[in-house]
Amino acid sequence: MPPARQLSWAWVGVVPFFAFALMFLIIPTSFLAIGGFQDGQGRFTLQNLVDLFQPTILSSYWISIKVSAASAIGGAVIGFLLAYVAIAGGLPRWVRPTLMTFSGVASNFAGVPLAFAFLATLGRTGLVTALLVNLFDFNIYRTGFNLLSFWGLTLTYMYFQIPLMVLIMAPAIDGLRREWREASANLGASAWEYWRYVALPILWPPLLGATLLLFANAFGAIATAYALTGSSLNIVTIMLYAQIRGDVLHNPNLGYALALGMIVITGLSNAGYIWLRGRSERWLR
């Protein structure tokens, strides 16, 4: 067969994939995105985007952003520390594969069961709550803590954020060469100077990129929050859920704009992640 003819028919092989992508990813999303710019009669308008700035919607975006940012930053810091000490912290060999396997499990242990686990632990009758009362006569609920709140949700989200960070950062930490550390020590650098002038300048793109990925990961989540708080904590995914179920905004097109706003936020943080990943590949391979 002449190569020209092979090429001209080669695209047929990817038709099913692109048909799937159009039907289940691109067209549904575009429908919502376009609907966000239309009024009830299908005419072009920017009114829906303006209406997003009403206090209830704005506050639901804001609490989502706060929970996602807090759980992303907390998850990134702890996840990085864990991955670093397991790989380069002088611990026995078995620590690393154990941590990796566990991270694979824990990063997938999300949704409704995760909410149950935290309710059983830190809920009003949970194990830790009861232990603290019995041992130290210390009731965390009297200090103002509530699992069904910003901090409770953040603490719960970190259960899948930390292991995700471990999985993303392990290759980058592997890329830090031992020679760099030794060379800087030979030149008289302290541990702090090594981190400040060598390790962090190399690691910050993957660190920041992974944090953005964690942010998007938490921002789109709903099941954990729904099972944990019902609708008492009005994050944007829960508001969208209510809108899909029963048009609580009394304006379908405003619902599309709500979804569009979410895509923009997760899209931007993912774009940041991809850009930073490109940058980090220069040093770490």
Partner 1 sequence: MKRNVVVSWLIVLVGVLYFFVPLLGTFEFSLRYRRGVYSFEAYQIVLNDPVFRATFTYSTVLALATIVVGVVLVVPTAYWIQLRLPRLRPVVEFITLLPLVIPAIVLVFGYLRIYSSASVLPLTSTETTTDVLLTFSYVALSLPYMYRAVDTALRAIDVRTLTEAAQSLGASWGTILVRVILPNVRVGVLSGAFLTFAIVIGEFTMASLLDRPAFGPYLQLVGANRAYEPSALAIITFAITWACMGLIQLFARRTAAQLAGAH
Subset of residues 202 to 241 that bind partner 1, contact rule: CB under 8 A: 216-217, 219-223, 226-227, 230, 237, 240-241
CB burial of residue 170 (10 Å; 0-12, 13-18, 19+): buried
Nearer to partner 1 among residue 227 and residue 248 (C-beta): 227
217 CB neighbour count, 10 Å cutoff: 22
Least separation in angstroms between residue 39's CB and partner 1 is: 16
* Residues near partner 1 (CB under 8 A), total: 77
Q: Which listed range, 22-30, 48-56, 134-142, 170-178, lies at the site for partner 1 (CB under 8 A)? A: 22-30
Give the footprint of partner 1 on residues 127-146 (CB under 8 A): 127-128
By C-alpha distance, which of 167, 217, 169 is closest to 67?
A: 217
Helix residue ranges, H only, 22-144: 27-35, 47-51, 55-88, 95-106, 112-122, 127-136
Give least dist CB 197 to partner 1, A. Answer: 19
Spell out, one character per residue from 35 to 74, where the chain touches partner 1: x when CB under 8 A holds, - when not.
Answer: x---------------------------------------
Q: Which is nearer to partner 1, 42 or 230 (CB)?
A: 230
Interacting residues with partner 1 between 236 and 265 (CB under 8 A): 237, 240-241, 244-245, 255, 259, 262-263
Contacts of 170 (CB under 8 A, 6+ apart): 83, 87, 100
Say if residues 111 and 226 touch (Cβ distance below 8 Å): no
Q: Residue from 14, 50, 185, 200 that binds partner 1 (CB under 8 A)? A: 14
CA atoms within 13 A on the CB side of 216: 18
Place of tokens 């899209």: 267
78 binds partner 1 (CB under 8 A): yes
State the nearest-atom distance from the C-beta of 3 to partner 1, in Å: 11
Query: What span, in angstroms and rounded, lies between the C-alpha atoms of 283 and 212?
Result: 20
Q: How far is the CB of 240 from partner 1 (least distance, A)?
A: 6
Q: Any contact of residue 24 with partner 1 (CB under 8 A)?
A: yes
> From the CB of 173, what's the least distance to partner 1, in Å?
13
Least Å from the CB of residue 119 to partner 1: 7
- Pattern 79-118, partner 1, x by CB under 8 A: --xx--xx--xxx---x---x-xx-xxx-xx-xxxxxxxx
CB of 163 to partner 1, least distance (A): 8
Residues 148-187 contacting partner 1, CB under 8 A = 158-159, 162
The helix/strand/coil state of 250 is coil
Sign of CA dihedral 95, 98, 104, 105: negative
Distances (CA, A) of 77 to 65, 72, 90, 211: 18, 9, 19, 9
- For the CB of residue 111, give the shortest distance to partner 1 in the complex, in Å: 5
Q: Which two tokens stand for residue 138?
A: 């210390």
